[in-house]
Chain A
Amino acid sequence: ETGVTQSPTHLIKTRGQQVTLRCSSQSGHNTVSWYQQALGQGPQFIFQYYREEENGRGNFPPRFSGLQFPNYSSELNVNALELDDSALYLCASSPDTGELFFGEGSRLTVL
């Protein structure tokens, strides 16, 4: 039990739609990161937020955006969904000590 919960656990969208994935982390975890894990691959870093500001971004287009809220929850938004966006999306939070605690993920299928 990592204390990181993600919702929804599974969802299906069609190409061109928009999706919002949510993450709730432990109190005191000021950093939240999002990763995309395509089938059969390792997770790929999307971006990281620290105290509600983006402070690092991977090689993902601007249609991937995020928000972090003062209550230690966060969102990942993806606009104009493409088939290749089908993946498991993982949220990870960390206290200032740096250890990452991962949630179980949200599995997105784009048809």
Chain B
Amino acid sequence: DIQISQSPSSLSASVGDRVTITCRTSQNIRTYLNWYQHKPGESPKLLVYATSILHTGVLSRFKGSGTGTSFTLTITGLQPEDFATYFCQQTFSDVFTFGGGTTVE
């Protein structure tokens, strides 16, 4: 299986901050990388797919970038509703795998 190392596992931030989360994969996955946001008790929400394409309704303060084995989710101008756990997912291989998650608190 393709392993994903996501960092940091948690970070402390304030409203208005710029936040960067990184995922590194154990092999080249081109741009088959998705990002999700999850709040406790809620359903996870798709933010970005194919590395950089914002899902419908996702605001432009979220930005995904990268290729190959290194990917980044950047939140510019953190808002109160953005405090959550974020995780990445690769869909390059038949066995989809996820990063360990980053909690923004």
**Is B truly associated with A?**
no
